Chains A and B, each alone.
Chain A
Amino acid sequence: MNLLELQGVHTHIGAYHILHGVDLAVPKGQLTMLLGRNGAGKTTTLRTVMGLWKVAQGRIAFAGKEIGGLATPQIADLGIAYVPETMGIFADLTVKENMLLAARAARRAQDMDEARLKWIFRLFPAVEKFWNHPAGKLSGGQKQMLAVSRAIVEPRQLLIIDEPSKGLAPAIINNMIDAFAELKASGVTILLVEQNIHFAQRLGDTVAVMDNGRVVHAGTMADFSADAQLQQRLLGLSL
């Protein structure tokens, strides 16, 4: 069963026609990798799902419900968390305040789900270590950990994450891979945009590859990983 489905989605940004009929399925409980060269339309696809760009044509369904015309907060309310490519960290707020904002039911830090916080601290120890520090002063990897922690501070059905490995050191990427593997094991559905093919291959269950505003390939990651020619053709990779 697919948790998220896009059918023939077109998106315009100003005068530019970016998405040209995207068809994408994200199966429930799996980690779907959205791959593609720079400018293929991956980030625009994620932003369109979140309602940050308007759908010009086509339909987007989440858990069987049409969400194409909804405002961003309504889409988030349905149980979708989004981590943008820029991470969206509130630099002037502390790590604690960033987390408190994402924990919508909590009015104070003490109201946050303690067991869930402990789980997050185990996944990303830096979040606990720098709890009372300004988020703007964290390193790139620590900010990414905070951004993902913020997305999971409340139980969500779908996590949408844009390029979590971008600009990170290999050791931090390995830490991220372990964390995503545990998140996946917890049953949450994940849609991940990634440029790092090794990251994608280690985590992905299914894969969709975009080019020129369309999904040009969809299937299992195992099949995609086994087909070097396909990778070369779609991503320009030689593995």
Chain B
Amino acid sequence: MSLKMDVDWKPLLLVPALALLALPLVGSPSTWLTLTVAGLAMGMIVFIIASGLTLVFGLMDVLNFGHGVFIALGAFVATSVLGAMGDWTQSQSILANLVAVLPAMVVAMLVAGAVGLAFERFIVRPVYGQHLKQILITMGGMIIGEELIKVIWGPAQIPLPLPEGLRGSWLWGDAAVEKYRVLAVVVGALVFGLLAWTLARTKIGLLIRAGVQDREMVESLGYRIRVLFVGIFVAGSALAGLGGVMWGLYQQNVIPQMGAQVNVLIFIVIIIGGLGSTTGALIGALLVGLMANYTGFVAPKVALFSNIALMVAILLWRPQGVYPVAGSR
């Protein structure tokens, strides 16, 4: 019997395999590169949003269908912050633009995190261990959240233009790669790196990984897992707020229902990844982002259900997602 720490490489190969499989279907290498970067950018943004949700489910078995409200909240907060920093967003300097985007991200995360704290306390906590009630009440919470966003920002679509310096593309040979998409990939990679480091190298990370496997045992060791869960819920909400800013800038406009639209995608992602697995969520998000972009170009009619088909194919291969979490459940 081998006792070495085995790394399961097969899921990691899915992303390059999908990209290579798409190359002959797309035809032109430059178009393929543009689509691939767009898919990776979309995937990274979806990962930022989904990473908190997968840990919330893994740790406390809570199905939060209201996660989308934090996405919309983050995006709307960004419209206000960036709107107030017109001089910085209209500058041609990428540095000045980033100085505007950074506080928008931070404020969006703070607001989403604070609302997440209240959401956990008043909406999620009363329904621990009751899945059906969790689905109903968190969806209800999202509807109320959307209505409150309409009260504050109005019901209409609000433009969220990219800052001047982040518009346009860089040309890599014949391929045009949008600057903002590169930024999204970099931010997503930073978030994943930070999460991976926290989970692998810190005691809090150890507790989260253990709690996802067997929360009862973690409590028996003397740790208050509910406190940890509240922290994860708040951090997950803040990350959804950050993802909302990124998604809003990606779409260049925001609507109060945007959270509900992205909700479907993020549930596909965490199911593909294996509920509770952060690395699985990253792979799921990248696959979903690439699939959406490739099929959108190659066969637009298929794009509508391509991600559902992807999820079905993955679940036929691994019924508990690409990285099933070992545990008592």
Smallest CB–CB gap between A193 and chain B, Å?
15
Q: Which residue of A is nearest B207, CB measured?
A: A101
B143 interface residue, CB < 8 Å from A?
Answer: no
The answer to whether residues A84 and B222 also contact, given A90-B209, A101-B207, A134-B3 and a CB cut-off of 8 A, is no
| Interface 1/0 per residue, A197-221 and B, CB below 8 Å | 0000000000000000000000000
Which of chain B's residues have a CB closer than 8 A to the CB of A76?
A: 219-222
Q: Which residue of B is nearest A134, CB measured?
A: B5
Smallest CB–CB gap between B198 and chain A, Å?
13
Which of chain B's residues have a CB closer than 8 A to the CB of A93?
A: 206, 209-210, 213
Q: Could you show 5 A-B contacts with beta carbons less than 8 Å apart?
A: A88-B214, A88-B220, A92-B209, A93-B213, A100-B206
| B221 close to A104 (CB less than 8 A) | yes
The 6 A-B pairs at the shortest CB distance, nearest first, are namely: A88-B217, A76-B222, A91-B326, A72-B219, A133-B3, A90-B210
| Interface members, chain B 155-210 (any A CB < 8 Å) | 203, 206-207, 209-210
> In the complex, which range does the number of interface residues on chain A fall in?
20 to 34
SS of B interface (majority): loop
| A82 close to B222 (CB less than 8 A) | no
B224 interface residue, CB < 8 Å from A?
Answer: yes
| B222 close to A50 (CB less than 8 A) | no
Which of chain B's residues have a CB closer than 8 A to the CB of A91?
A: 213, 326-327
> How many angstroms between the C-alpha atoms of A220 and B79 in the bound complex?
75
| Interface members, chain A 137-151 (any B CB < 8 Å) | 137-138, 150
> How many angstroms between the C-alpha atoms of A61 and B222 in the bound complex?
18
Which of chain A's residues have a CB closer than 8 A to the CB of B218?
A: 101
Smallest CB–CB gap between A65 and chain B, Å?
16
| A73 close to B219 (CB less than 8 A) | yes
| B222 close to A104 (CB less than 8 A) | yes
A-to-B contact residues, CB < 8 Å: 50, 52, 71-73, 76-77, 82, 84, 86, 88, 90-94, 97, 100-102, 104, 107-108, 130, 132-134, 136-138, 150
| A72 close to B206 (CB less than 8 A) | no
> How many angstroms between the C-alpha atoms of A77 and B222 in the bound complex?
6
Smallest CB–CB gap between A128 and chain B, Å?
13
Which of chain B's residues have a CB closer than 8 A to the CB of A97?
A: 206, 210
B223 interface residue, CB < 8 Å from A?
Answer: yes
Smallest CB–CB gap between B201 and chain A, Å?
9
Which of chain A's residues have a CB closer than 8 A to the CB of B210?
A: 90, 93, 97, 101
> How many angstroms between the C-alpha atoms of A190 and B1 in the bound complex?
34
> How many angstroms between the C-alpha atoms of A82 and B221 in the bound complex?
8
| A82 close to B220 (CB less than 8 A) | yes
Q: Which residue of B is nearest A51, CB measured?
A: B219
| B5 close to A101 (CB less than 8 A) | no
Which of chain B's residues have a CB closer than 8 A to the CB of A52?
A: 216, 219-220
| A133 close to B4 (CB less than 8 A) | yes
Smallest CB–CB gap between B42 and chain A, Å?
29
| A137 close to B220 (CB less than 8 A) | no
> In the complex, which range does the number of interface residues on chain B fall in?
20 to 34
Given contacts A52-B219, A92-B209, 15 further A-B contacts (CB under 8 A): A72-B216, A72-B219, A73-B219, A76-B221, A88-B216, A88-B220, A90-B210, A91-B326, A93-B213, A94-B5, A101-B210, A104-B221, A104-B222, A133-B3, A136-B326
Smallest CB–CB gap between A131 and chain B, Å?
11
Smallest CB–CB gap between A162 and chain B, Å?
11
Which of chain B's residues have a CB closer than 8 A to the CB of A101?
A: 206-207, 210, 218, 221
Smallest CB–CB gap between B281 and chain A, Å?
16
| B220 close to A50 (CB less than 8 A) | yes
Smallest CB–CB gap between A83 and chain B, Å?
9
Smallest CB–CB gap between B158 and chain A, Å?
44
B325 interface residue, CB < 8 Å from A?
Answer: yes
| B224 close to A73 (CB less than 8 A) | yes
> How many angstroms between the C-alpha atoms of A102 and B221 in the bound complex?
6
| A84 close to B325 (CB less than 8 A) | no
Which of chain A's residues have a CB closer than 8 A to the CB of B223?
A: 73, 104
Q: Which residue of B is nearest A107, CB measured?
A: B203
The answer to whether residues A84 and B221 also contact, given A130-B3, A133-B4 and a CB cut-off of 8 A, is no
| Interface 1/0 per residue, B1-23 and A, CB below 8 Å | 11111100000000000000000
Q: Which residue of B is nearest A104, CB measured?
A: B222
> How many angstroms between the C-alpha atoms of A52 and B6 in the bound complex?
34
Q: Which residue of A is nearest B204, CB measured?
A: A107
| B217 close to A137 (CB less than 8 A) | no
Smallest CB–CB gap between B77 and chain A, Å?
35
Smallest CB–CB gap between B279 and chain A, Å?
12
| B214 close to A90 (CB less than 8 A) | yes
> How many angstroms between the C-alpha atoms of A194 and B207 in the bound complex?
30
Q: Which residue of B is nearest A138, CB measured?
A: B3
Q: Which residue of B is nearest A72, CB measured?
A: B219
Which of chain A's residues have a CB closer than 8 A to the CB of B327?
A: 91
Which of chain A's residues have a CB closer than 8 A to the CB of B206?
A: 93, 97, 100-101
